[in-house]
Amino acid sequence: MPERRTVALVTLGCARNEVDSEELAGRLAADGWELVEEAADADVAVVNTCGFVEAAKKDSVDALLEANDLKDHGRTQAVVAVGCMAERYGKELAEALPEADGVLGFDDYTDISDRLRTILSGGAHVPHVPRDRRKLLPISPAERQGAAVALPGHGDAAAPGPSPADLPDGVAPASGPRAPLRRRLDSSPVASVKLASGCDRRCSFCAIPSFRGAFVSRRPSDVLGETRWLAEQGVKEVMLVSENNTSYGKDLGDIRLLETLLPELAAVDGIERIRVSYLQPAEMRPGLIDVLTGTEKVAPYFDLSFQHSAPGVLRAMRRFGDTDRFLELLDTIRARAPQAGVRSNFIVGFPGESEADLAELERFLVAARLDAIGVFGYSDEEGTEAATYENKTDPETVAERLDRVSRLAEELTAQRAEERVGETVRVLVESVDGEDGPVGRGAHQAPETDGQTFLTGLTGSSQLSVGQMVEAKVVATEGVDLVAEPPPDVVWGCSESSEEAGA
């Protein structure tokens, strides 16, 4: 019997990467690997990198170098890069960063166990030469479902996985041709589920489609099956993620498939909240707004990718809309759900952006009343159309505009939080043992990006535990965070169940 090896997965970047890490964990656990939390305790540290923007790439390199340092004074014998940066640069990354003992692309995920064993035994893995992954799939979306292309988070296109009887506890069985093995890497009551992969949009600033590929939906049965399994693992909130959730179903023959799927997901036993992320304003439709604002257990939450609001800048970005159209969309949403949560990201300093364009963006931000705002300064991304544009904004001006809009965003989101004082919010409790007491999130607050809700004023005889849903009245704010009081018969207590859930 081969020696049991240990592996740690270090995940950087977005929620999509977190799903990919749990698929890799499922594959490794099914093949006999022991998963450990700390890289220092592992024979091999697998770093799931982010390749989106320069800052994220730097963080990924730093994480690889930090893991490499463990080889000098710990158990760690090998450091392996996977994820978006590894896929995007492949051989180039391997040559530039010899501290990584292996650089694995998406095509290696199916054989991740063999790859790691080879590297640990001193064998060499030849890194891939990157390709534009959009070209690996048919142009017609309807022909993509049967293509034998590696899609992280989707499982294998052809070969079935091991039977459930052969899997260790805590690993989700692959129940269909595109259903992944999965092993949870934490005990949070929140988990992401991939709705699709890739993107067919051609935003001039974005390189993601080139290494994530063209848009491919997961089948509803696979999404439902994975959600049911997560509910069995104690998950209460599922966040649907992809590069573009509003396109879901277009390659399955029904662009309105999300409207059908959401009520089915909300009906899964044990699930208390379904959240949809990554929505494109230009693809929003009345039926989808109705389902997002009118379905029990579906959060009225809108993660809308506006990016800017000045029409000239948006056209240069290969995007659509303007300030007034975006405000009309928000009015439509709030007419159906006044407490709906809305967040978005924006780029300032895009090539050709004028002071008038920036003022137009500020006009939109002031009127939009967004709950969360991310602001990024433009920088060239290799391989994108915008990198070839002339009339670039100089770095000093980009930095000034970033600071200016970031300060405005901070002020506006704090004001929006203050508007919620007096509202009743449904809070999912995520921790109870910290110095802040019970902390959770309302329906308008996505994990890690949109603030938290601190529960206070607890009296009575009941006890809160991780994973519990509590209705509470907002009584104060701290920036974007809320302070809310549950009803008087609820009290915070570190019960045995809450300690186990937070472990």
Give the closest residue to 140 by CA, choosing from 243, 246, 214. 214
Measured between alpha carbons, how far is 31 from 463 in angstroms, rounded to an integer?
A: 40
Q: Is 203 annotated as a binding residue?
A: yes
Mean pLDDT of 54-82: 86
Average pLDDT over residues 192-207: 95
Calpha distance 300→291 (Å, rounded): 9
- Considering only the top CATH level, what class is 423-485? mainly beta
pLDDT at 231 over 80: yes
Q: Which residue has the higher pLDDT, 211 or 55?
A: 211
Mean pLDDT of all residues in 355-367: 98
Confidence band of 172 (pLDDT split at 50, 70, 90): low
Q: Is 494 annotated as a binding residue?
A: no
Closest C-alpha to 279, from 263, 258, 294, 260: 258
For residue 414, which amino acid is it? A
- pLDDT value at residue 1: 41
With 60 as the cut, is the pLDDT of residue 175 above it? no
Residue 351 has pLDDT above 80, yes or no: yes
Confidence label for 70 from pLDDT (cuts 50, 70 and 90): confident
State yes or no: pLDDT of 461 exceeds 50.
Answer: no
Does domain 149-154+180-419 fall into CATH 3.40.47.10?
no
* Assigned token pair, 152: 């992280």
Which pLDDT score is estimated for 437?
86
Q: Higher confidence at residue 500 or residue 153?
A: 153
Sheet holding 6-11, edge to edge: 34-35, 6-11, 44-49, 78-82, 102-103
> In degrees to the nearest 10, what's the CA dihedral of 52, 58, 64, 69?
-170
Gap between the Cα atoms of 432 and 290, Å rounded: 35
Element (H, E) at 69: helix 54-69
DSSP β-ladder status, 216-217 and 196-197: antiparallel
Whole-number percent of the chain with pLDDT over 70 = 91
How far is C-alpha 143 from the geometric centre of its chain's CA atoms? 27
Contacts of 106 (CB under 8 A, 6+ apart): 87, 133, 150, 151, 152
Provide CATH code, domain 6-132. 3.40.50.12160
201: nearest Cα among 142, 130, 282: 282
pLDDT at res. 492: 54
At 490, the pLDDT band (50, 70, 90 cuts) reads low
pLDDT at 483 over 70: yes
Radius of gyration of the chain (CA): 23
pLDDT band for 253, please (50, 70, 90 cuts): very high
* Residue 155: per-residue pLDDT: 75
Residue 84 known to bind ligand:
yes
The arithmetic mean of pLDDT across residues 364-385, rounded, is 96
Give mean pLDDT, residues 83-107: 93
User: What is the arithmetic mean of pLDDT over 455-480?
Assistant: 86
| Distance (Å) of CA 414 to CA 321, 372, 480 | 26, 9, 5
Binned at pLDDT 50, 70 and 90, residue 173 comes out as low
In tens, the pLDDT along 295-341 reads: 999 999 999 999 999 999 999 999 999 999 999 999 999 999 999 99
State the average pLDDT over residues 165-171.
62
Confidence of residue 497 (pLDDT cuts 50, 70, 90): very low
- Reported as a pLDDT band with limits 50, 70 and 90, residue 468 is very high
Lowest-confidence pick of 30-39, 51-60, 313-322, 337-346: 51-60
- Domain range annotation of the chain: 6-132, 149-154+180-419, 423-485
Query: For the purposes of burial, counting CB atoms within 10 Å of the CB of 95, is it exposed (0-12), middle (13-18) or buried (19 or more)?
Result: exposed
- Say if strands 273-276 and 490-492 run parallel, antiparallel, or are unpaired: unpaired
Query: Looking at residue 69, what is its pLDDT?
Result: 85
- Rounded distance between C-alpha atoms, residue 73 and residue 76, angstroms: 8
Mean pLDDT within 177-185:
74
Alpha helices in 78-146 (DSSP H): 83-89, 91-96, 112-120
Instruction: Read off the pLDDT band of 158 (50, 70, 90).
Output: low
What's the whole-number average pLDDT of the chain? 90
